[in-house]
């Protein structure tokens, strides 16, 4: 998918200022004017190529520094030690905010501040029990309550169970569901090469299963964990109730547990399930996005956002989701500062709060910065893990996508030079309405859902070099975008996001 550094004729107009740019302050000009250089400039002109030569050496340096002198893994190790459990509203989330602020100051970011937002506060509690109750035996199944679930009555809730693979099947069998648990057991599609798309094809069971089951008169929802891996580690995640509908308890069951449960149902065994949860929802809590900047040297009001989300589910360490994204953003900024670079535009690191169960931080950022949205040139989010770089997805228009492809060629040795149409990220999502170009960092995704939202998402599952390559790639991309003589063109405005 690598493409040549070519731009189409129509783009040439938009790039008038981008071709043959003046060298950035810290760039080392490759060679003094010579017959050779003139010849290659003429050739570029003829081919309408974008000359990114002045940035090549610095981008190379950023990548080398990320690998040889990088701090991304050390920062992630520290975050996972200081605040391994950092769900919104928790003490851990407060510690993560304090850590992020201190880290931004330590690496030399400017205008470091906490920007307030009010977040949901849900607690898992200490009881999570699902038992198969038979006439002559009991078997415990590994579960995690879904985030936002209500508790069961004290002592547990006992009922039969029906298994369904879809909401359509549930509707057809609604009579059977009444008074029972509904067990949603449609796996992520292993035939889909894109793991995020496979997740997207199954996650409705987790997000809306309890709502649908409650509507059918069920007493609880049990959802197969969102992973293709077969193991006994359940994966939690967000779920929603209908505002005016009944609220029934909802849990994720491990994939091995789901297989066992399904086999017993298929074998016609007669048994009931007993579920007990003591999770609870507390009043909304004050929290913060954490923000710091490298102020631009020529156009400080123009902003390139780079970020991830600081909150994480209350199991594991949130190492890949999204500790990795947080340290990608922090490390990218640190690498740029450490080389003494100050791009034309401001690079703003934003670590968002509450991506997992509310997106309140994302919405607060958008609302609080509405007046400067037109000056947001690009927003990049890393929220797909700390694995080997593959590229960047973007909602940019075709000409800007080609520009980004050209820039990404500078980070080709990290493997991140595949720029393709797609989405940016949950936290930067609201900015699309204002025409901000959104970019999502896309690492290899084969193992991401092995860890996602589970006890397996720990620091030892992150490889230091894979993480560092990502930081180098992101540093290179945002540095060049923030330093190009002409800002990237905006996207068309879209409908305002729902508030």
User: Footprint of Zn ion on this chain (CB under 5 A)?
Assistant: 321-322, 383
Question: How many angstroms from the chain centroid is the CA of residue 113?
Answer: 22
Of 174 and 426, nearer to Zn ion (C-beta) is 426
Rounded to the nearest whole angstrom, what is the least distance from the CB of residue 355 to Zn ion in the complex? 5
Of 359, 353, 270, 407, which Cα lies nearest the Cα of 89?
353
Q: What is the Cα–Cα distance from 496 to 499, expressed in whole angstroms?
A: 9
| Closer of 294 and 380 to Zn ion (Cβ) | 380
Burial of 484 (0-12, 13-18, 19+ CB in 10 A): buried
Least distance (Å) between residue 235 CB and Zn ion:
13
Q: Compute the least distance from the CB of residue 17 to Zn ion, in Å.
A: 36
Report how far Cα 102 is from the mean position of its chain's Cα atoms. Answer: 23
Cβ-based nearer residue to Zn ion, 26 or 461? 461
CB of 321 to Zn ion, least distance (A): 4
Q: How far apart are CA 6 and CA 21, in angstroms?
A: 16
Element (DSSP H or E) covering residue 253: strand 250-253
In whole angstroms, the minimum distance from the beta carbon of 363 to Zn ion comes to: 16
Give 321's DSSP letter: I
In the complex with Zn ion, the residue whose CB is nearer, 293 or 311, is 311
Task: In angstroms, give the least distance from the CB of 490 to Zn ion.
Answer: 26
Q: Are 289 and 115 within 8 A, CB to CB?
A: yes
Of 356 and 409, nearer to Zn ion (C-beta) is 356
Report the candidate in 353, 493, 486, 381 with the shortest Cα–Cα distance to residue 18.
486
Residue 26 C-beta: closest distance to Zn ion, Å: 34
The angle that helices 91-106 and 324-338 make with each other, rounded to 10 degrees, is: 10
Distance CA 195, CA 5 (A): 30
Rounded Cα distance between 227 and 426, Å, is 20
Q: Nearest Cα to 323, choosing from 457, 225, 198?
A: 457
How far is 235 from 203, CA to CA, in rounded Å? 11
Q: In this structure, what token pair is assigned to residue 24?
A: 């950035």
The residues that are catalytic are 355
Q: How far is the CB of 359 from Zn ion (least distance, A)?
A: 11
208 close to 216: Cβ distance less than 8 angstroms: no
Alpha helices in 380-446 (DSSP H): 398-409
Taking the complex as a whole, how short is the minimal distance between the CB of residue 55 and Zn ion, in angstroms? 30
Q: Tokens 């998402």 identify what position?
A: 457
Q: Considering beta carbons, is residue 80 or 132 the nearer one to Zn ion? A: 80
Rounded to whole angstroms, how far apart are CA atoms 74 and 62?
17
Q: What are phi and psi of 455, to 5 degrees?
A: -65, -15
Q: Is 189 helix (H, G, I), strand (E, B) or coil?
A: coil
SS3 sequence, 146-183? CECCCCCCCCCEEECEEEECCHHHHHHCHHHHCCCEEE
CB of residue 383 to Zn ion, shortest distance in Å: 4
Cβ proximity to Zn ion: between 65 and 321 the closer is 321
The first and second tokens of residue 59, run together, are 């981008």
For residue 178, what are the CA distances in angstroms to 172, 173, 212?
12, 9, 12
Least Cα distance to 368 among 288, 479, 273 occurs for 288
By beta-carbon proximity to Zn ion, the closer residue of 383 and 395 is 383
Query: Given its phi and psi angles, is residue 391 left (phi above 0), alpha (psi -120 to 50 degrees) or beta?
Result: left
**196 vs 241, which CB is nearer to Zn ion?**
196
Query: Whose CA is closest to 326, among 61, 119, 96, 114?
Result: 96
Nearer to Zn ion, 289 or 397 (CB): 289
Q: Measured in Å, how far apart are the chain's first and last C-alpha atoms?
A: 38
């Amino acid at each position: 998918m690598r493409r040549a550094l070519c731009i189409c004729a129509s783009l040439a107009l938009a790039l008038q200022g981008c071709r043959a740019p003046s060298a950035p302050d810290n760039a080392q000009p490759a060679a003094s004017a010579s017959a050779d250089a003139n010849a290659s400039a003429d050739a570029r002109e003829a081919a309408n190529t974008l000359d990114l030569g002045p940035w090549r050496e610095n981008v190379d340096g950023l990548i080398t520094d990320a690998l040889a002198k990088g701090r991304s893994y050390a920062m992630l190790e520290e975050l996972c030690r200081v605040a391994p459990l950092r769900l919104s509203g928790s003490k851990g989330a407060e510690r993560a905010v304090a850590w992020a602020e201190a880290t931004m100051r330590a690496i030399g970011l400017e205008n470091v501040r906490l920007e307030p937002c009010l977040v949901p506060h849900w607690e898992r509690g200490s009881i999570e029990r699902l038992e198969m109750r038979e006439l002559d035996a009991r078997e415990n199944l590994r579960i995690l309550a879904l985030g936002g679930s209500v508790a069961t009555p004290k002592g547990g809730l006992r009922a039969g169970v029906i298994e369904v693979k879809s909401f359509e099947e549930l509707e057809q069998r609604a009579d059977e569901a009444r008074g029972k648990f509904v067990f949603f057991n449609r796996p992520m599609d292993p035939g889909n090469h894109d793991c995020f798309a496979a997740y997207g094809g199954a996650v409705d069971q987790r997000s809306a299963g309890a709502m649908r089951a409650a509507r059918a008169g069920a007493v609880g929802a049990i959802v197969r964990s969102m992973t293709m891996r077969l193991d006994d580690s359940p994966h939690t995640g967000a779920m929603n109730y209908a505002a005016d509908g009944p609220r029934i308890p909802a849990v994720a069951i491990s994939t091995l547990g789901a297989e066992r449960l399904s086999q017993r149902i298929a074998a016609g065994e007669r048994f009931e399930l007993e579920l007990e949860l003591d999770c609870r929802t507390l009043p909304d809590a004050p929290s913060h996005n954490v923000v710091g900047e490298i102020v631009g040297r020529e156009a400080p009001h123009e902003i390139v956002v780079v970020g991830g989300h600081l909150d994480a589910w209350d199991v594991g360490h949130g190492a890949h989701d999204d500790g990795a994204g947080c340290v990608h953003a922090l490390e990218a900024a640190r690498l740029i500062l450490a080389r003494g670079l100050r791009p034309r535009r401001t690079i703003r690191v934003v670590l968002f709060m509450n991506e997992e169960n509310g997106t309140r931080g994302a919405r607060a950022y958008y609302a609080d910065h509405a007046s400067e949205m037109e000056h947001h040139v690009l927003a990049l989010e890393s929220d797909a893990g700390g694995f080997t770089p593959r590229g960047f997805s973007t909602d940019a228009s075709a000409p800007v996508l080609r520009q980004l492809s050209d820039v990404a060629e500078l980070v080709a040795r990290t493997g991140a030079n595949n720029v393709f149409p797609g989405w940016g990220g949950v936290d930067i999502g609201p900015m699309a309405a204002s025409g901000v170009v959104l970019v999502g960092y896309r690492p290899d995704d084969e193992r991401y859902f092995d860890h996602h939202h589970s006890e397996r998402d720990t620091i030892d599952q992150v490889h230091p070099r894979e993480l560092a390559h990502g930081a180098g790639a992101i540093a290179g991309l945002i540095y060049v975008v923030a330093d190009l003589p002409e800002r990237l063109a905006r996207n068309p405005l879209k409908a305002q996001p729902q508030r």
